[in-house]
Every structure is written in C-alpha cells, then in structure tokens.
C-alpha cells in the first residue's frame, strides 16, 4: 500500500488563527444585486408577455438584454474586486436568535459573497447565458406566440437561480439556487409538455436531483449543528481558529463531505446519479447547451470547491471523488461511443467531462477542475449549439448515420467549421483549450499520492483517447464525407413539397462564431502570468481559485492559513525535494502529459477518421463482427443499452417502492381502517342494535356512541375522584 494521502492531518485545534478570508462587509456594493434582480425582472416581463399573448420576439429581447446587463454587472464587480472577499447584504430571509451562544441563532439571508471563485463562475454563467439566449431567439422561432415567452421565462428563472447558487454567502441561499436550477431544469426539459418523453425526462431529472438535494440538506443540518453557522465567512473563521463544537468532532466532520458529495453527484450527473442527464436532452437544444452542458451541471464542482475545507478534513472523501469521477468519465465515454443520436453523444460526453472535473477535485487540483469547467463551458456549449442548428435545420434529425458531408452544403459551412473547433477542444487536440485544462488534471493524478491514483491516471488517459474517437466519429460522419441527408420527423408541412433544410441565419451563426472564438481563446488564460502569488502556476484561472476556500487544492501552492499543514505537506509530497517528486517516463508529469495526451488524442482522432471517414464500411463490418461473437457481443450491446443502469434502478428502487406503496395502501384500507377502526366501530353498533332494535341508522349509532362515551368518561371521573388514580405511579 502506498501512503494514502497521509499528508492530510486532521485539523488541529491549535492551528494558528489566521483566517483564510477576512471578508469585508460591503453594503456599498449592493448594485451587485442587479445580477440577481435583472433575471427576475426578465421573468416577470416574460410572464406578462405570456399573459398578453405577445407574438413577437419581445421576450427574447428582454431576456437577452437583462442577461447582458447581468454579465456587464459581473464584469464590473470583477474589476472592482479586491481580495480576499466581500459580503454584500441584500435582503433578510431567516434570522432566528434565542440566546447568546453560537448555537443559539440561525442566520441565512439573501446576501452575496464575492470572492474570485464566485466571480469566475458568475462571469461565464451570465456571459454564456446571454449568448445562448441570442441563439435561442432564432432557434425557438417555430414557437413564436405559443411557448416562446414560457421558454424565456424559464431561462430567466434559471439564470436567477444559478446566480443565487454561485453568489450566495451562505449554504441556505446556495440551496435555494441549487433547487432553483433543478426546478428551471424541470421547467425547460418539460418545455414540450405534450410530449410524454419530455414530461417523463423532466420528472426524472427533478427527482434524481432531489436525492442529491437530500444530501445537501442533511449536510446543511450537520454543518449547522457542528459549527453553528451556515455562512461562508463565519465558517472560514472557524476553520482558521479550529474551534469546532468538540462534541461533534468525529463522525460529523467525516460525514459532511460525503453528504455534500451526494449533492454534487446528483447535480453534476456522476455515478450513481447520472441517469437523468442523457434523458434531459428532451429539452430544447439551447437548454441542453446552457443548463445541461455549460453551467448548471458544473454546480457540483462549484459546491465542492466552495466547501473544499470540509473535504480536506476527510481524505477518504477525496479518494472517493477521484475514483467516482474517473469511473464516470470512462463509463460515460464507452456509452457515448455506441450511441447514434448526436445530442445524446454530447450528453454522455458531458457526463464524462464532468467526471474529469471530479477527478481533478479528488486529486487535489481544484484549479485544474475549475479550468476544465471554464474551457468545457465554451466548447461544449458550442458543440451542443451546432447540434441544435443541425436539428433545427433538418427537422429534428439527430442520427449521425442519416446526415453526412455538412461542410459541403450551402449555408452550413459555419456550422461545420465551428463544430470542428469544438471537437478539437473536446478531443484535447494539442494547443487547444481542452488540451491544457485536461492535462492539468491528468498530470496531477500522477503527482498526488492516493489509493490507485496512478491506475486512475492511466484510465483517464485511455478515456481521453476514447473521447477523441467518439468526438470525431460525430464530426467525420456528420460534417465530412459525401453530402447527403434524410430529414427528421418534425417537418412543418406548410409548403407541402420536398424537404429543404433551412440553414442557420445570423443570430445562430454569430453565436457559433463567438463561441468558437471563445473555445480557442480559453487557452490564453493558461499562459497569463499569475498576479495573486508568484508561486502559483496555471495562469488566470489559478488566480481566480486562489482567493477562495478552494485554494487548499491548488498544486504547488502553500501559504500560512488555517489548513496550512495540508498545503505544506502537499507541497512536501509533491513539489519539495526532487526525490519525492513523482515522475513519468523520467519527466515532470506535467511535461510528460503534454506528449502522452496529445498522442492519445491524435490516435483517437485517426481511428475515427479511418472508421468514419475513409472506410465507413469497415466500421459497420467491425460492428457486425463484434455483435456476432458471443464472447464479446455483450460489450457493445451493454454500451449501446447504457450498461442497463436505468433498468437496474427500476428493478432495485422504483419497482419495490411502487409495490410497497400498493401494499401500504391495501394495508391502510383493509387492516388499519377495515379491521381495526371499523372493527371497533362495530362494537357500539352491535350494542345499539341490541339495545334499540328499532332503526339501525346513522343518527342512532351516533347517539349511542356519544352516550356510551360520556358514560365511560363519567365513570373515569368518578374513579379519579374516589381513588385519586395515577397519583402514586412514580
């Protein structure tokens, strides 16, 4: 056994009292509340549009304008930001006080906590939100006057909730955002509410997320009963001082990270709770891009980064995160390889990439995870939006076997080439943004010591190869090769004649180009020199993680703060003395990873080119051969059927509960109500018939019960008074 993260000691009670963040209360920054207020205004206006049956694009204009306003506000906030952090009170929510002590008040208000971590998130959330709204203004055109307002109202709700989640200064407001984005997701997945599959997918998303929310709720209870507060700045101070409630030391501090993890796995679609995300593709594509690829699903990573101090207290939780992330990445990639629906491939790819981010969190690189969140937001949103453009233009066609050679078709060139950029970034092609962010995680898996982390690292590299393969399988099938297509089944038969694909127009193309540029430029922050601390590596994103509780997981960084021991020993294990520094092929893991992952990516790409561009028949032959060999046929079949996870849940959880519900209902009606209640009720009735066989009506039995009851009571009273019953029982 290798030493298992032994460098993380339990928080010592005598740690020096230097807080991570001395958050400044800044009521004069309350204009930052606009980030929350603008989407709400937009929600109300979209609601009014819906009520007044507006038939123009007004709702889209309102939403885009207010989200742009929120983005501008975020950027201003960033420019005004000074470390270490600021608390901006907005509105009271819950304030209870029943004593003086720490455990005798409960405070959770609507106030913002601004540090670089929340700024990083809010800027890309509002920025992408604006772009995707502009895209959706064109994409949702067929629904003008029908669901158009409802759609943009949902987007506004989502942005509000996401902003609340990211900017909150306490765990309860985070919970509000957390459930709020889940609700927005429910709303938008179920947008086509007359389609049963959409309704079922929406419900599934909400319920699976609720299981995660349960973890978050329990974590909040546990954090409050252990630390007496749910506010980040107070928690940081407590961590700095090391003054926990001694009574709860032990199992609670160990349980908190696992409960938070459950929440994160639900929201960010990790094993075992990822099943809702692929189904969520029933929603309109802009929703898939915004919520189910770029922003909401990264909330789990945000949560863990935000509460990273709890995880550092319990090393095992980090091991679990790393392994769950790595396994999810691999599993989802294998499923993605076997799907034909391009949107579903992208969905599984999202699950897989989120797995990488969790792997990063687990191997102590919050910076790598955050950087991958950042780059992934651009290229995955881009990929989804190109899929959406294709779906929009080809009447809902998403089967990669039925469209080919898009780049040769008139009006589709922008879509095809921007998709290539997205694919290159996703595949981790050298020098793209995805290449740098993925490497930051992969290399760290070889640096950090942990149970089987090296195996995990190789597994992740293998997964990177699979990623390149399935990504380019899509591109070579859909965009390259000879031009041909079959339309989908959502034809609007208004012109009656042959189907003509309608190519995307200005709004969609503009957003695609902007996102493609974003996907490329997202590599630049990696090379920006670090401002926050000279010892940092990793550029701007590392800077942004630095001033937050997540800095305990920045590689190679150490400073005297509450968990200084952790960072110190991390540094000792990782970057101090060269002897202790793990190497890969005699190189620094970071340097080696450039070569390894670059090679793996190109191999995957070439394999895809061979099977899906140059020799498409070979791919079919291989597939047929695989299915014909009994000893291996189970593998592609299981991959295509998503490893039967849904079936497993149905058999193990849903069906038993359903049966239990029926058993309870029968029990309730026939045993509790039938035998017990009615059985007892029959006694006075029988007495009534015996006493008064005139009419066995309701009023009679009622009267008898009343008289009988009163008699019993009087008897009891008399007995009380006579003997003073019960008096001598103690």
Partner 1 sequence: MLGVLLMVVPLVGAVAIALSPSRAAKGIALVATLAGLGIAILAAIDFSDWGTGGWGLEYNLPLLPAMGISLALGADSVSMLLMLLTTLLMPLAILGSWTAVSDRLREYYGWLLLLSTAMIGVFLARDLLVFYICFEFTLVPMYFLIAIYGSTNRAWASLKFFIYTFLGSLFALAGFLYVAWANAEHAGAWSFAIPDLVHFASTGLTTGEQGWILLALMAGFAVKIPLFPVHTWLPLAHTEAPTAGSVLLAGVLLKLGTYGLFRFVLPMVPAAVVEWAPFMGVLAIIGILYAALICWVQTDVKKLVAYSSVSHLGFCVLGLLALNPLGLQGSVLYMINHGLSTGALFFLIGMMYERYHTRDMGTIGGLGSKMPVWSFFMVFFVLASVGLPGLNGFVSEFLCLLGTFAAGGTGAYPGVLGPWFAAAAALGMVFAAMYLLLMVGKIVFGSLREPSGVHSDLPADLNAREILVLVPLAIGCVVLGVQPDFVMHAIEGSIADTLASYPTAVTDATEILVGRGGMP
By CB under 8 A, is residue 702 in contact with partner 1? yes
Three-class SS of 409-440: CCCCHHHHHHHHHHHHHHHCCCCCHHHHHHHH
Nearer to partner 1, 130 or 168 (CB): 168
| Paired tokens of 693 | 């066989």
By CB under 8 A, is residue 691 in contact with partner 1? no
Window of 297-305, 466-474, 601-609, 696-704 that interacts with partner 1 by CB under 8 A: 696-704
By CB under 8 A, is residue 721 in contact with partner 1? yes
By CB under 8 A, is residue 55 in contact with partner 1? no
By CB under 8 A, is residue 44 in contact with partner 1? no
The torsion angles phi and psi of 617, rounded to 5 degrees, stand at -65, -35
By CB under 8 A, is residue 13 in contact with partner 1? no
Beta-carbon count within 10 A of 716 CB: 11
| Paired tokens of 544 | 């942004």
Q: Which of residues 641-660 bind partner 1 (CB under 8 A)?
A: 657-658, 660
Find the shortest distance in angstroms from Cβ 494 to partner 1: 21
Nearer to partner 1, 252 or 569 (CB): 252
Find the shortest distance in angstroms from Cβ 442 to partner 1: 36
Q: Are strands 86-97 and 484-485 parallel, antiparallel or unpaired?
A: unpaired
The C-alpha atoms of residue 532 and residue 119 are separated, in whole angstroms, by 15
Site string for partner 1, 227-266 (x = CB under 8 A): --------------------xx------------------
Find the shortest distance in angstroms from Cβ 341 to partner 1: 23
For residues 244 and 256, is the Cβ–Cβ distance under 8 A?
no
Nearer to partner 1, 206 or 358 (CB): 206
In the list 647, 665, 682, 683, the residue contacting partner 1 (rule: CB under 8 A) is: 665
Find the shortest distance in angstroms from Cβ 433 to partner 1: 35
Find the shortest distance in angstroms from Cβ 68 to partner 1: 24
For residues 329 and 463, is the Cβ–Cβ distance under 8 A?
yes
Window of 536-544, 555-563, 644-652, 695-703 that interacts with partner 1 by CB under 8 A: 695-703
In the list 614, 644, 664, 723, the residue contacting partner 1 (rule: CB under 8 A) is: 664
Find the shortest distance in angstroms from Cβ 653 to partner 1: 11
Whose CA is closest to 546, among 322, 437, 535, 260? 535
Find the shortest distance in angstroms from Cβ 127 to partner 1: 25
For residues 97 and 72, is the Cβ–Cβ distance under 8 A?
no
Q: How far is CA 367 from CA 131, 554, 556, 660, in A?
A: 25, 6, 11, 46
Find the shortest distance in angstroms from Cβ 98 to partner 1: 4
The residue whose two tokens read 């003509």 is 500
Length of the chain: 730
The C-alpha atoms of residue 436 and residue 608 are separated, in whole angstroms, by 22
3-state secondary structure of 160: helix
Q: Which of residues 80-99 bind partner 1 (CB under 8 A)?
A: 91-96, 98-99
By CB under 8 A, is residue 675 in contact with partner 1? no
In the list 502, 535, 650, 662, the residue contacting partner 1 (rule: CB under 8 A) is: 662
3-state secondary structure of 105: strand
In the list 490, 620, 647, 668, the residue contacting partner 1 (rule: CB under 8 A) is: 668
Nearer to partner 1, 75 or 218 (CB): 218
| Paired tokens of 298 | 């990264």
Concatenated DSSP letters of 205-255: HHHHHHHHHHHHHHHHHHHHHHHS--BHHHHHHHHHHT---GGGTTHHHHH
Q: Which of residues 151-180 bind partner 1 (CB under 8 A)?
A: 172, 175-176, 179-180
Q: Are strands 403-404 and 86-97 parallel, antiparallel or unpaired?
A: unpaired
The C-alpha atoms of residue 407 and residue 15 are separated, in whole angstroms, by 61
The C-alpha atoms of residue 416 and residue 508 are separated, in whole angstroms, by 13
Find the shortest distance in angstroms from Cβ 296 to partner 1: 16
In the list 250, 482, 586, 727, the residue contacting partner 1 (rule: CB under 8 A) is: 727
By CB under 8 A, is residue 375 in contact with partner 1? no
Q: Which of residues 171-230 bind partner 1 (CB under 8 A)?
A: 172, 175-176, 179-180, 183, 186, 190, 193-194, 196, 199-200, 202-203, 206-207, 210-211, 213-214, 217-218, 220-222, 224-225
The C-alpha atoms of residue 461 and residue 443 are separated, in whole angstroms, by 10
By CB under 8 A, is residue 282 in contact with partner 1? no
Q: Which of residues 98-137 bind partner 1 (CB under 8 A)?
A: 98-99, 101, 103-104, 106
């Amino acid at each position: 056994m290798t030493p298992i993260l032994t460098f993380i000691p339990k928080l010592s009670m005598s740690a020096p009292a230097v807080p991570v963040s001395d958050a400044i209360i800044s009521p004069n920054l309350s204009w930052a509340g606009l980030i929350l207020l603008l989407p709400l205004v937009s929600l109300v206006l979209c609601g009014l549009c819906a009520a007044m049956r507006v038939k123009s694009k007004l709702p889209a204009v309102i939403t885009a304008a207010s989200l742009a306003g929120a983005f501008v506000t975020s950027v201003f906030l960033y420019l005004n930001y000074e470390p270490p952090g600021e608390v901006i009170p907005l509105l009271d929510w819950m304030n209870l006080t029943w004593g003086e002590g720490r455990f005798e008040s409960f405070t959770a208000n609507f106030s913002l906590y601004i540090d670089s971590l929340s700024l990083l998130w809010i800027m890309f959330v509002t920025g992408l939100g604006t772009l995707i709204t502009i895209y959706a203004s064109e994409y949702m055109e067929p629904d003008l006057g029908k669901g158009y307002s409802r759609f943009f109202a949902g987007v506004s709700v989502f942005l509000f909730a996401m902003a609340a989640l990211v900017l909150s200064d306490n765990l309860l407001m985070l919970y509000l955002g957390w459930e709020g984005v889940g609700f927005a997701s429910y709303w938008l997945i179920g947008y086509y509410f007359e389609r049963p599959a959409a309704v079922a997918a929406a419900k599934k998303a909400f319920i699976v997320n609720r299981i995660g929310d349960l973890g978050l709720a329990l974590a909040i209870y546990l954090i409050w009963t252990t630390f007496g507060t749910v506010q980040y700045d107070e928690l940081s101070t407590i961590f700095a001082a090391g003054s926990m409630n001694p009574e709860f030391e032990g199992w609670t501090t160990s349980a908190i990270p696992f409960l938070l993890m459950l929440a994160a796995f639900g929201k960010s679609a990790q094993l075992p709770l990822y099943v809702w995300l692929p189904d969520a593709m029933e929603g309109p594509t802009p929703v898939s891009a915004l919520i189910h690829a770029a922003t909401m699903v990264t909330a789990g990573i945000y949560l863990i980064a935000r509460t990273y101090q709890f995880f550092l207290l319990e090393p095992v939780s980090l091991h679990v995160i790393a392994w769950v992330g790595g396994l999810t990445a691999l599993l989802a990639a294998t499923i993605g390889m076997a799907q034909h629906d391009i949107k579903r491939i992208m969905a599984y790819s999202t699950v897989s990439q989120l797995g990488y981010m969790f792997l990063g969190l687990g191997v102590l690189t919050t910076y790598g995870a955050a950087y991958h969140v950042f780059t992934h937001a651009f290229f995955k949103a881009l990929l989804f939006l190109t899929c959406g453009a294709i779906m929009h233009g080809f009447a809902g066609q998403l089967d990669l076997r039925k469209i080919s050679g898009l780049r040769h078709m008139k009006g589709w060139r922008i879509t095809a080439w921007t998709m290539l950029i997205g694919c290159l970034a996703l595949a981790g092609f050298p020098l793209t943004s995805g290449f740098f962010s993925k490497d930051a995680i992969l290399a760290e898996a070889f640096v950090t010591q942990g149970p089987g982390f090296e195996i995990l690292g190789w597994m992740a590299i293998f997964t990177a190869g699979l990623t390149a393969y399935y990504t380019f399988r899509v591109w070579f099938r859909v965009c390259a090769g000879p031009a041909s297509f079959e339309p989908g089944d959502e034809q609007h038969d208004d012109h009656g004649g042959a189907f003509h694909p309608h190519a995307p127009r200005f709004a969609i193309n503009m957003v695609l180009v902007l996102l493609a540029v974003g996907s490329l430029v997202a590599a630049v922050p990696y090379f920006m020199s670090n401002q926050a601390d000279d010892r940092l590596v990793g550029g701007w994103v590392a800077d942004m993680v630095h001033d937050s509780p997540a800095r305990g997981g920045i590689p190679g960084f150490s400073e005297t703060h509450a968990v200084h021991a952790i960072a110190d020993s991390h540094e000792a294990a990782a970057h101090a003395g060269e002897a202790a520094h793990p190497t890969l092929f005699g190189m620094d893991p970071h340097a080696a990873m450039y070569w390894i992952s670059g090679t793996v990516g190109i191999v995957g790409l070439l394999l895809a080119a061979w099977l899906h561009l140059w020799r498409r028949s070979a791919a079919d032959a291989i597939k047929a051969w695989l299915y014909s060999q009994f000893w291996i046929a189970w593998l592609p079949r299981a991959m295509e059927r998503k490893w039967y996870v849904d079936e497993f849940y149905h058999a193990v959880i849903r069906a038993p509960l359903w049966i239990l519900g029926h058993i309870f209902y029968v029990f309730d009606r026939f045993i509790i109500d039938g035998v017990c209640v009615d059985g007892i009720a029959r006694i006075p009735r029988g007495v009534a018939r015996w006493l008064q066989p005139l009419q066995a009506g309701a009023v009679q039995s009622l009267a008898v019960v009343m008289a009988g009851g009163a008699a019993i009571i009087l008897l009891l009273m008399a007995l009380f008074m006579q003997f003073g019953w019960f008096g001598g029982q103690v």
